[in-house]
Structure 1
């Protein structure tokens, strides 16, 4: 399996800058990676053995599958040497089984404990740790971070937050301000800040405790994702539901702000042409044009989104203001804010419509997973002739 990245790269999250380590001296092409770029490999770090990739705004962490199962870190604060082009191996991570990263903390899961390390300090011991029962002592399916038995690990203290046992949590997605939880029976709960409709309860109020998203009741879900101020989930049938903020088209719904920006760019180009021709552009609709578009800034209830009419969605991930989804056919679709190339369309254009990342289709690569950082995207791929499970 190979990993590709695109989008924000000011700290070397995708590839290491060779000219300088100071952000101010980076070239624009180093900061904005608009075309999918394969993550660097080295003799000691074979990315085809990576099991998990996690990303924050300035960093990328990945868990190596074979050998000592250690965690490598790339981006802010990680300065690799010549033989560590794929990242810096983190100390005290041998035997790690899971990893989760925020802008300030690195959370490591082991078979018998979970540790939180402060990325802003040079520490020889974790800033917080908790013992856990081994897999043989617990029943049910294995929980993935940030979930742990009985609760979850938050991005800031107190790190351990309990969850009611009746929820029977299966997975949990955290943003800086809200959380979305999926139960074993496919029910979705949300809590936290709701100022942009990201909780999906129809209003803009916050919720201190998990509250079921009633609009999805009766439709079992199997995947959830949280963006900056938006949320996404996938039903058992492969349908995608979106809600929250849509200012830059991150919901895949018509965005007034995005369309206005695109119109201004078009008018700027037209203005230059008109000046040359001695005419003046106008904002008024021309004869035969319609001005009946419905734009959505906030979608406070879950809305069904047709990514592609012929495919089911397999997995989804959210950046701060963009979204990426993988179909069962192995195609990657992205939409939302694209100023750093995080949509992977080999341009810096934003979009409020899901568009296929043609790079992988042209290279005959089958996308099997996607992980979004705040302003970038990472995709795992295999050759199309390789059998993959859905």
Structure 2
């Protein structure tokens, strides 16, 4: 299995930045072409297999498997060729270097706290957004709590919740996976359908976004005004907007249609973009794309799911996807291997 990354690369999370290259045409901050992730360890040949990836705003952590010995490696600008190795003599591996935390050991003044949940909430997985949390229970129900100002809790309002509350609109429809973006939420049903809710300012829900549709309408109206000066482009723009339904906040789950129809096997959310993998091995992305995190080899945003053609053209079968805040990482295998899974 190989991993590719694209999007925000200011800290070298995707590929190492060559400081000797001074060409203005080379943008090492924005990686718009899917680039294969390389293993940087102190050895002439790297045979480690990356099985999992986790990404944040400035870092990327990879779990590598070399035989039966796992290892965790972290990529950032100052550790371009460095690696955090593990104590392989212990069955439970522990990173053998000091984590760069603030004095006292935590990034916040208060230490982590333990809060018991209701006994009937048997958690299968947990997803954390910027200010909200989603829990997928063993029964397939979705619970949410935290800030609700952008409708990210899915309770048909913009109120916050201090305790886990069931997303009633999805009750009775078992879900298999859940993901949280900065202020939006996504889940996959057992049948492979996508349900979305929360903030849609950048089209991250895959629903019509005013800020993304307005610019093309303005450009087309300006061109029409140049061809026919007597026509008021401003009035035409207003008339076109009347016939379009825009969604800035979706406060309850909505079924998202992907064209052509397909079943979804995995989904992940960045701050303001979303990526999903189909059972057939296609990768679809949508939302904010100004760092190239949508993988379409442009810096444009999109408010509807679009297939990443790079992997199709290279005859690669996408099996998993992980979104960082402003970047995306996709795991792929050869097409024949994907068909056999």
Sort the TM-score into its range (normalised by shorter chain): 0.7 to 0.9
Offset, 1:166 = 1.9
Report 1:107-256 matches (<5 A): 110=92, 118-121=99-102, 127=105, 157-158=111-112, 160-256=114-210
- Check the 8 A contact 2:6/2:34 in 1, yes or no: yes
- Check the 8 A contact 1:117/1:127 in 2, yes or no: no
Offset, 1:66 = 1.9
Report 1:294-309 matches (<5 A): 294-309=245-260
Distance change >3 Å, CA 115–CA 372, structure 1 → 2: farther
1:314 aligned residue = 265
2:84 aligned residue = 90
2:3 aligned residue = 3
Distance change >3 Å, CA 290–CA 42, structure 1 → 2: closer
- Superposed CA RMSD: 3.4
- Report SS of the residue matched to 1:215: helix
Which of 4, 29, 32 does residue 31 from structure 1 map onto?
29
- Check the 8 A contact 2:72/2:86 in 1, yes or no: no
Distance change >3 Å, CA 93–CA 355, structure 1 → 2: farther
Q: Give CA deviations for 1:53-96 in whole Å, capped at 9, x if unaligned.
A: 000011100011225311111125x4223xxxxxx322556589
After TM superposition, the structure 1 stretch with the greater mean CA deviation from structure 2, 252-261 or 41-50, is 41-50
- Check the 8 A contact 1:190/1:213 in 2, yes or no: yes
- Gaps in structure 2 of 5+ consecutive residues: none
Offset, 1:203 = 0.6
- Check the 8 A contact 2:221/2:236 in 1, yes or no: no
- Check the 8 A contact 1:322/1:338 in 2, yes or no: yes
- Check the 8 A contact 1:10/1:26 in 2, yes or no: no
1:54 aligned residue = 54
Whether 1:356 aligns to 2:334 is no
1:150 aligned residue = none
Q: How many residues align?
A: 336
- Report SS of the residue matched to 2:234: coil
- Check the 8 A contact 1:20/1:26 in 2, yes or no: no
- Gaps in structure 1 of 5+ consecutive residues: 82-87, 98-109, 129-153
Offset, 1:348 = 0.4
- Check the 8 A contact 1:19/1:26 in 2, yes or no: no
Distance change >3 Å, CA 204–CA 8, structure 1 → 2: same
Offset, 1:308 = 3.0
2:319 aligned residue = 368
Q: Distance in 2 between matches of 1:47 and 1:264?
A: 52
Offset, 1:260 = 1.6
Distance change >3 Å, CA 185–CA 324, structure 1 → 2: same
- Report SS of the residue matched to 2:236: coil
Distance change >3 Å, CA 282–CA 74, structure 1 → 2: same
Q: Give CA deviations for 1:144-196 in whole Å, capped at 9, x if unaligned.
A: xxxxxxxxxx9x83154443332110000112211111011101000110000
2:233 aligned residue = 282
Distance change >3 Å, CA 192–CA 25, structure 1 → 2: farther
Higher relative contact order (CA 8 A, sep 6+): 2
Q: Distance in 2 between matches of 1:192 and 1:47?
A: 42
Which of 295, 305, 323 does residue 274 from structure 2 map onto?
323
- Check the 8 A contact 2:6/2:35 in 1, yes or no: yes
- Check the 8 A contact 2:281/2:338 in 1, yes or no: no
- Check the 8 A contact 2:149/2:159 in 1, yes or no: yes
- Using structure 2 for the length normalisation, give the TM-score: 0.87
